[in-house]
Structure 1
Amino acid sequence: MLLRSAVPADLDLLTILVAEAVNWGGEQRVTVADVRTDDHLVRYVEGWGRPGDVGVVAVDDAGEALGAAWARVFASGRRGWGFVAEDVPELSLGVLPAGRGAGVGSALLDGCLGAVRAHGSRAVSLSVEDGNDLARAMYERRGFVVVGREGGSDVLALDLATWTRPSVARKV
């Protein structure tokens, strides 16, 4: 597996991954078409590649996408579910079925956190739904802490000054 920077041409992939992330429990709650037309869901991908957008895409040895993690800032009047401040990017992460259970999500998270910190952000936030215990544990292992609540989800944040990239190399 290789991580590369997310680029504007990844818009369709990121749109698919928003649906994958919302449907984390296996039940199809939203479709890709929903992501494109729902005012809240589309915020995570519309105009991808605008200034401040940062992300990584995981690809297999054949160059096929396995997933992505990306972060973008939101204005308080058009915020995401994990919004904490206009200068704190909100992170999204999705893994396609072919990449699940192989450490792809962890590699994406670490790669994206490194990219967000290199971009100059002081912190990053996200939203994790109640019941999504695997994702929650992955975030908490990195130092994310609960800073708020939005509907049936916790808002988590990570101070990037205190985050340390795991030094253990993993083969995925």
Structure 2
Amino acid sequence: MNAFRIRPAVGQDARVLADMLVEAANWNPVRSRTRVTVMEDPTVLHYIAGWQRPGDFGCVAEDARGVAVGACWARLFPADRPGYGFVAPGVPELTLGVYPPWRAQGVGRALLRELSREAAARGHARLSLSVERENFAQRLYVSEGFVTVAAGERSDTMVRTVR
């Protein structure tokens, strides 16, 4: 396994989170979109626009050289501008992205666990997310205690209790 470390995401990580948002959006190489296309989509962009707003939190995985290889972060969305995985005001919705060479090496799981610890430390009772059913990451989410609370045409909204 390649060595990596997890650190808190800070305001200067906006570019790293944008990179990981593109990775998350392009989990299926058959339907891959360019960075520009992903970043111009307002329904996707609001996951990082204005990072780091009050209430935003996350973590970044770095390799032994300090290069980001993945990130997981959470935001609160209002009911009138929800994310794909919105369940209720006050429930942070997470996003997770890992560069392909680092997938299936424990990076995503480590990021998800660290984000869950931070959510609990901040007093949140739950985390939510949205994932397409074909996405291999759904198995990770289920194994980490996320359960489906709403099913869409191709994706599920999942929630996990964190405290």
Task: Give the TM interval when normalised to the shorter protein.
Answer: over 0.9
Kindly indicate whether the alpha-carbon contact (under 8 Å) linking 1:15 and 1:35 is maintained by their aligned counterparts in 2: no
- Provide the rounded CA distance (Å) in 1 between the counterparts of 2:153 and 2:75: 21
- Provide the rounded CA distance (Å) in 2 between the counterparts of 1:5 and 1:35: 25
Kindly indicate whether the alpha-carbon contact (under 8 Å) linking 1:67 and 1:94 is maintained by their aligned counterparts in 2: yes
- Provide the rounded CA distance (Å) in 2 between the counterparts of 1:150 and 1:12: 30
Distance change in 2, residues 1:24/1:48 (3 Å): same
CA deviation after TM superposition for structure 1 residue 97, in Å: 2.3
- Provide the rounded CA distance (Å) in 1 between the counterparts of 2:155 and 2:100: 23
Residue 66 (structure 2) pairs with residue 59 (structure 1): no
Kindly indicate whether the alpha-carbon contact (under 8 Å) linking 1:23 and 1:29 is maintained by their aligned counterparts in 2: yes
- The two structures have a TM-score, normalised by structure 2, of 0.93
CA deviation after TM superposition for structure 1 residue 22, in Å: 1.4
Distance change in 2, residues 1:22/1:99 (3 Å): same
Kindly indicate whether the alpha-carbon contact (under 8 Å) linking 1:72 and 1:90 is maintained by their aligned counterparts in 2: yes
Which structure 1 segments of 5+ residues have no match?
Answer: 162-172
Q: CA RMSD in A?
A: 1.2
Which structure 2 segments of 5+ residues have no match?
Answer: none
- Provide the rounded CA distance (Å) in 1 between the counterparts of 2:54 and 2:88: 17
CA deviation after TM superposition for structure 1 residue 35, in Å: 3.0
Number of matched pairs? 160
* Stretches of 4+ aligned residues off by more than 6 angstroms: none
CA deviation after TM superposition for structure 1 residue 48, in Å: 0.7
Residue 154 (structure 2) pairs with residue 145 (structure 1): no
Residue 83 (structure 2) pairs with residue 80 (structure 1): yes
